[in-house]
Structures are given as structure tokens and as C-alpha cells.
Amino acid sequence: MKKKLTIGLFGFGCVGSGLYEVLNRSNLLNATIKTIVVKNKNKQRVLPADHFQYDKELILADPEINLVVELIDDADAAYEIVTRALRSGKHVVSANKKMIAHHLDELIALKNQNNVSFLYEASVCGSIPVIRNLEEYYNNDTLRSVQGICNGTTNYILTRLDKEGKSFDEILKDAQRLGFAESDPTLDIDGFDSKFKLQILIAHAFGVITLPADILNIGIRNIKEQDIRFAKEKGLKIKLIAASEKIDQKVIGYVAPQFIQEDSFAYDVNNEFNAVTIEALFSDRQVFKGKGAGSFPTASAVLSDISALQYDYGYEYRKKETTQLNYASGFSTRLFISSTNPDKLKLIPFTEVEETFSSKDYAYKTGTVNFGALTHELYRNHPELFIAFFPQTEGNFKLAPVEENVVLQNTF
């Protein structure tokens, strides 16, 4: 019954080496790693150098290898490896959310043409089996919304900001020192990583394939100590939320900081933990919580994909075949903006203002804003401006009455 899998592994970083150990310690799988290809010849690794190869053809051109596991950082190199592997009739397991978010439509077509499986549970929220659940379990329920805390680095930073009353820069430096943030933190703190994961969630939840340029991502880089204090005084927390919701046969999505109330799924998701909440018409609201990153949790998700391949499992994207949905950006939301410079608050046009506050070094405004008024550039070009969705009943967006369909220009 179980298919024998001969694996070619690309990459031996945190997840790759975790997978190697997990595969060796779990004897339930009929799968062996035949060849490991890495890029850097001089890097110190936990295995002796003779375990590694440096020529990708040793995997891609090896007819005995029927499964390519791709665990490298470089999205462009990963794209080449994955497309070539699929074209060669090899199954592929990948954790590269950035690559998938940019090329999903093509990758689905390729795996269909070549009659192989392309699995990537590890790409979204590490050990939380959210893709498999969306794909298998919720396929016949009418999904309303999928939201999550999908990035451990920003959640770790926000948790410490909430507890310690230090500045964003201080905490970021400390997180980098401790290995919780990359030396170039842009992907995480500007919300790109969360966005790539959200795109994958939207594909499996609603059957809509998006490109990174379709979805707004506002990060946490501009958060100030006063913003944290404002939240605490109101019993709220600030979290970076990746959210998508279906309204009137349209799917909307964004990544942005949100003020979170105590009754939200996100309130008690702290430090490096991730959580995803799935709301469906009949099953009500489900919350999945777990470790979103790390060597073993991520390797465990990769292992689960490998295990499923032994039983010829493949994503079917059933909703993609039946969906009538389009990606839409035209809706309004409650917003909070703040700045050290009160003039900056004028940058965002409110359709309705609820509160304004101003002191000599801090000003904020709350009210309703058309979603199209928010752009990635606004966030990137005005570091004094902190933008966050304001006490938001979960999933409670409103479609704006009339708004031109803004094409976002924030491709990464």
C-alpha cells in the first residue's frame, strides 16, 4: 500500500537538518533521503561534508529520485528547482511561501500536467495543519473568513513590546541577537511573510489565486511606545493579523496591525506562537494554535506531507473549480493612525472621524477609511505614521458603497 519514496533534498538549514533528524528518528516512513544538495561548500554543518552534493542535476536528473523536498531560502532558485522537478514527473514538497505566493497558478498547472503532487503544508504556520484542514475538512462548508497570526517574529516583538515598554528598535535588535529575527527583518516586520502565507490560505479556503501585488501589507515597523500604551489603557493588544473574508461573493484580504479585544482568538497568542481561525457558516469558528516556525515543528509538517505522499495524496483545489469569487479590495474599515507629527494624520482621508487626540509629541485619529486609501507606500514612506485596524469585531468588514478598484503596487 505504501509507496516507496526516494528523496532528493535541497537545503540543509534549520528545517532541512530538522527533517533529516526527524526522518531518522521516526521509523514509520518508507522513505529515504538519497541525495542532499546544498549551495555553500564552506558552511559548517551537523553532518560530515561527504553527505552533501553541490550540483542540482544530481537530484533533478536522477530517475530513481521520485520526490524532491525543497527547503532553501532563495525563492528564485526554489522556483527553478520546483518547476524542473514537476516537469520531470517528480513529486515536490516545499516550504517556500514566497515562491509559492508568486507562482501558484503556474505550479498548480504544472503538477496537473505532469500528474504529480505538490505539497507545502510547512509553508504556512509551521506545525499547524491548516492547509490540509482547509483542503480536506472544510471543502463543503461555506467558509466566511480565515484569519491568523502567521508570523512568529512579529508576534514575538509585539508580545515583548506589550510587556516591557521598550522601543520597537530596542526589541528588534534584541530579537535579532537572540535569533528570533533575521538580520534583514523586512520580510517579517513589513508583513510580506504574513502576506505570502495569507495568499496560500486564500487559495485553499476560497479557491482564489492571488499575486502578492493584489494584497496590501502594512507592517509593524512604525509602532511607537505611545501606541502600545494607548492599547493597554483600553485593555487591547496590538497584533499583526493576516485576514481574509468572503463578502457578497467577493474575497477580501490584507495584512495589517490590529487592535485586539480580549475575546478575540488572537489575544492570548503570544511570543513566537501562531494561530489561525476559520469561520464557516455551519461549523462556526475553529481556532488552530501552535508553533509557526522552528526546526522540528516545520520539519514535522514536511514529514507529514511526505507521509501523505506515500498514500498518493495531492491537493485538489476543489473550491478553485467551483468558485465564482474574485479578489476585491473595495471595502471600508475602522482605522487607527498615529504620528509624532500631527500633520501626518492628514495623509489618510477618513470618510468619518470618530476621535482625534493631539499633544506636543503624539497625535492619533480613529474613524472609518476606504480600504483603497491605504497603500503600502503610505506605510513605507512615512515612518512616523503607525496604521492599525481599530477595535474590530473579528471579520467585521464593510464593503464600501462605491470605490474604484485600486490596483496595489506593493509587489515585493
The residues assigned a catalytic role are 197
Query: In terms of Cα–Cα distance, which of 60, 41, 63 is closest to 51?
Result: 41
Query: In terms of Cα–Cα distance, which of 61, 50, 73, 76 is closest to 8?
Result: 61
CB 303 within 8 A of CB 19: yes
Q: Shortest Cβ distance from residue 24 to a copy of itself (Å)?
A: 12
Tell me the backbone φ, ψ of residue 224, rounded to 5 degrees. Answer: -115, 160
User: How many beta carbons lie within 10 A of that of residue 29, not counting itself?
Assistant: 17
Comparison of 137 and 357: residue with beta carbon closer to a copy of itself: 137
Q: Shortest Cβ distance from residue 311 to a copy of itself (Å)?
A: 8
C-alpha cell at 246: 468572503
Of the chain, the end-to-end C-alpha distance in Å amounts to 43
Comparison of 23 and 175: residue with beta carbon closer to a copy of itself: 23
* Half-sphere exposure for 175 (CA within 13 Å, toward CB): 27
In this structure, is the dihedral angle defined by the CA atoms of residues 33, 303, 142 and 98, taken in order, positive or negative? Answer: negative
Tell me the backbone φ, ψ of residue 213, rounded to 5 degrees. Answer: -65, -20
Comparison of 139 and 375: residue with beta carbon closer to a copy of itself: 139
Query: In terms of Cα–Cα distance, which of 223, 220, 244 is closest to 124?
Result: 244
Rounded to an integer, what distance in angstroms lies between the CA atom of residue 116 and that of residue 352? 52
Comparison of 24 and 358: residue with beta carbon closer to a copy of itself: 24
Rounded to an integer, what distance in angstroms lies between the CA atom of residue 269 and that of residue 276? 10
Q: Strand ranges (DSSP E) for 130-220?
A: 143-149, 216-217
Q: Shortest Cβ distance from residue 173 to a copy of itself (Å)?
A: 27
Question: What residues make contact with a copy of itself under the rule CB under 8 A?
Answer: 18, 22, 25-26, 28-29, 127-129, 132-133, 136-142, 265, 268, 280-291, 294, 296-297, 299-301, 303-304, 306-308, 322
Q: Would you give the DSSP letter of residue 244?
A: E
Query: In terms of Cα–Cα distance, which of 246, 211, 257 is closest to 408?
Result: 211
Comparison of 18 and 191: residue with beta carbon closer to a copy of itself: 18
Comparison of 302 and 387: residue with beta carbon closer to a copy of itself: 302
